Amino acid sequence: MDNLEEKIRSILSEELQNASNGSSSLGSTDSGENGIFDNVDDAIAAAKAAEDTFIDASIETRNKVIDAIKTGFKPYIEWMAKQIKEETGMGTVDAKIAKLNNALYNTPGPEILQPEAETGDGGLIMYEYAPYGVIGAVGPSTNPSETVIANAIMMLAGGNTVYFGAHPGAKNITRWTIEKLNEFVYQATGLKNLVTGINEPSIEAVQRMMKHPDIAALSVTGGPAVVHQAMTSGKKAIGAGAGNPPAIVDATADIDLAAHNIVDSAAFDNDILCTAEKEVVVEKAVKDELIQKMEAEGAFMVTNKADIDHMIDLTINKNGTPNRKFVGKDATFILDEAHISYTGDPKIIILEADKDHPFTLTEMLMPIIPVVCCPDFDSTLKTAVYVEGGNHHTASIHSNNLIHINKAAHRMNTSIFVVNGPTYAGTGVGFTGASALTIATPTGEGTTTAKSFTRRRRLNSPQGFSLKTWNK
């Protein structure tokens, strides 16, 4: 062998002396493995480069991308639910499984982007829903993977690509979700970096993203400060803000159903959904019956004023925000920490409170639900509007009086209004309707779909077409 190699090398050097030319080969330099980059600029640049290709891609390609996401995550749903619970310490695994299924399988794709057309003597006017470009998205820690999945499906369906600024409190599972998503999409289509993110998400990174020239639009879920920042960024912003949803129960309500729905929905993921019932406003005539039936559904009633005050001290910070230690925690955890004795396995904590009670006016995001009592329907509705705090986010009513229902639906003026049902129905969980993970109340899109992440474009063709007329 050595001898032969020597011979061949001597032939090479003799005969190819002049013809030889060099080209050293080096290791692969594919940084940004599976959509995750070291810094914001690289991640956005990659999403921009991907968009330059994706913007021209066929609808079939978009469908392939979305199918790949839907089939790819299927075997991981339970594992993801557990990981989210473990990393964030919030909510319940069962609720997260339901929310992940909702995000994956109830989020419509490109099929909802149907054009509109007008025709007549002025020819054809057509409107189509076209992509913005790279969308900068910020998700909450309360729905980390669900938001990545639902936003990715909606935004990619619209022909955009996404840079995702993860919540630092859920960075590991967010990162995993982005990487997996890229893997599925790449395997199915060969496209890379349709959704990107960074290794170490931070507030600074989000601010840099909002100012980045290659970010065409923002989709921000978070507190008033970050939503305000997005809306004043000079870019198109889709902002999902806070809520404090009241459940109205009037004297005509089916109290069994109301009690069941409210407890079930407030207990769902330990009340961390921004849509979940955060307080009950009830007409005096049915208050006692409602409380009794809620207890039967698994609510634990705290009556001792000292206990209630102690809970307030524990769960609400000096500045009026809920204490993160208790956000999304089990009712039993809160009761244990407050040294309140209980029997059984309570799902939520209830108490009687007035309309200005801290538990009533704070978006607690934990299973503590004050019950506010009002003498008649008009004052009940007025109180519900008051405690909702002008967020215009979500509200529900339990009633069999059509006039009451209609009046409340109108006056509450919320993005989601649920009649005789759990408010989680408004997010798509378990019921008909598109998933609603990003509910854009301040900017008005409401429950967002692929359409919310597109620009409406108009085409005029005065010389044609109209099939119904010809008078040229």
Partner 1 sequence: MVVDFSLKPHIISGKDSLDTLDAIKDQTILMVCDPFLDGSDELNKIRSHVHANNHVEVFSDVKPNPPLTNIIAGVQVFEKVKPTIMIAVGGGSAIDTAKAIRFFGEKVANTKVACFIGIPTTSGTGSEVTNTAVITDDKNNVKFPIMDDYLTPDISILFPELVMSAPASVSAFSGLDVLTHALESLVAKDSNLFTEAFSEKAMSVIFDDLVEVVMKQPQNYELRKTVHEASTAAGMAFNAAGLGFCHAIAHQLGAIFHMPHGLACAMTLPYVVEYNAEHDEVALKKYAAAARKCGLVGKSVGDKVAVRKIERTIHQMMQEMNCPKSLRAFGVDRNEAVKETDRVIEYAKKDATFPGNPVVPSDDDLRAVYEKVIG
Residues lying near partner 1 in the complex (CB under 8 A) are found at 1, 4-5, 7-8, 11-12, 16, 19-26, 28-32, 37, 42, 45-46, 49-50, 52-53, 56-58, 61, 189-193
**Min CB(12)–partner 1 separation in Å:** 7
- For 285, the 3-state DSSP assignment is helix
Residue 421 DSSP class: S
- Residue 164 C-beta: closest distance to partner 1, Å: 18
Rank residues 190 and 320 by Cβ distance to partner 1 and give the closer one. Answer: 190
Greatest Cα-to-Cα distance within the chain, rounded to the nearest angstrom: 106
Distance CA(337)–CA(270), nearest Å, equals 16
Q: Which is nearer to partner 1, 30 or 467 (CB)?
A: 30
Beta-ladder partners of 370? 351
Count the neighbouring beta carbons within 10 Å of the beta carbon of residue 25: 4
**Cβ distance to partner 1 smaller for residue 191 or 230:** 191
User: Smallest gap, in angstroms, from Cβ of residue 150 to partner 1?
Assistant: 25
> Closer CB to partner 1, residue 37 or residue 377?
37
Helix, strand, coil share of the chain (percent; to 5): 45, 20, 35
Q: Which is nearer to partner 1, 40 or 191 (CB)?
A: 191
Q: Whole-number minimum distance, CB 196 to partner 1, in Å?
A: 11
Take residue 403 and report the two structure tokens written for it: 């006039």
Based on CB atoms, which residue is closest to partner 1, 63 or 321?
63
Closest approach of partner 1 to the CB of residue 31, in Å: 4
Nearer to partner 1, 16 or 402 (CB): 16
Could you give phi then psi for residue 20, rounded to 5 degrees?
Answer: -65, 145
User: CB 68 → partner 1: shortest distance, Å?
Assistant: 13
Contact between residue 287 and residue 250 where contact means Cβ atoms under 8 Å apart: no
Helix (H) or strand (E) holding 183: helix 171-189
Shortest gap between Cβ of 48 and partner 1 (angstroms)?
A: 8
Q: With beta carbons less than 8 A apart as the criterion, state whether 293 and 363 touch.
A: no
The length of the chain in residues reads 472
- C-alpha span between 452 and 237 (Å, rounded): 10
C-beta closer to partner 1: residue 194 or 335: 194
Q: Cα separations (Å) of 341 from 106, 309, 345?
A: 41, 15, 11
Q: 164, 214, 240: which is closest to 444 by C-alpha?
A: 240
CB atoms within 10 A of CB 217: 23
Nearest residue to 158 (alpha-carbon basis) of 460, 456, 439 = 456
**What Rg value do the Cα atoms of the chain yield, rounded?**
27
Token couple for 362: 């704070």
Q: CA angle, corner 418, sides to 85 and 327, nearest 5?
A: 25
Provide, rounded to whole angstroms, the least separation between the CB of residue 329 and partner 1.
42
**What is the phi-psi region of residue 121: left when phi exceeds 0, alpha when psi lies from -120 to 50, beta otherwise?**
alpha
The set of residues, in sequence order, having a beta carbon less than 8 Å from that of 164 and lying 6+ positions away, is 137, 138, 139, 148, 151, 174, 178, 195, 196, 197
Measured from the CB atom, is 182 or 452 closer to partner 1?
182
- Beta strands (DSSP E) in 273-326 are 279-283, 299-301
Nearest distance, CB of residue 14 and partner 1, angstroms: 10
* CB closer to partner 1 out of 33 and 313: 33
In angstroms, what is the minimal distance from the CB of 35 to partner 1? 10
Least spacing, CB of residue 47 vs partner 1, in Å = 10
CA-to-CA dists, residue 192 to 148, 154, 180, 304, 317, angstroms: 16, 18, 12, 58, 44
**Contact assessment for residue 408 and residue 400, using Cβ atoms and an 8 Å cutoff:** no
Q: Which is nearer to partner 1, 6 or 356 (CB)?
A: 6
Residue among 16 and 203 whose Cβ is closer to partner 1: 16
Smallest distance, partner 1 to C-beta of residue 59, A = 13
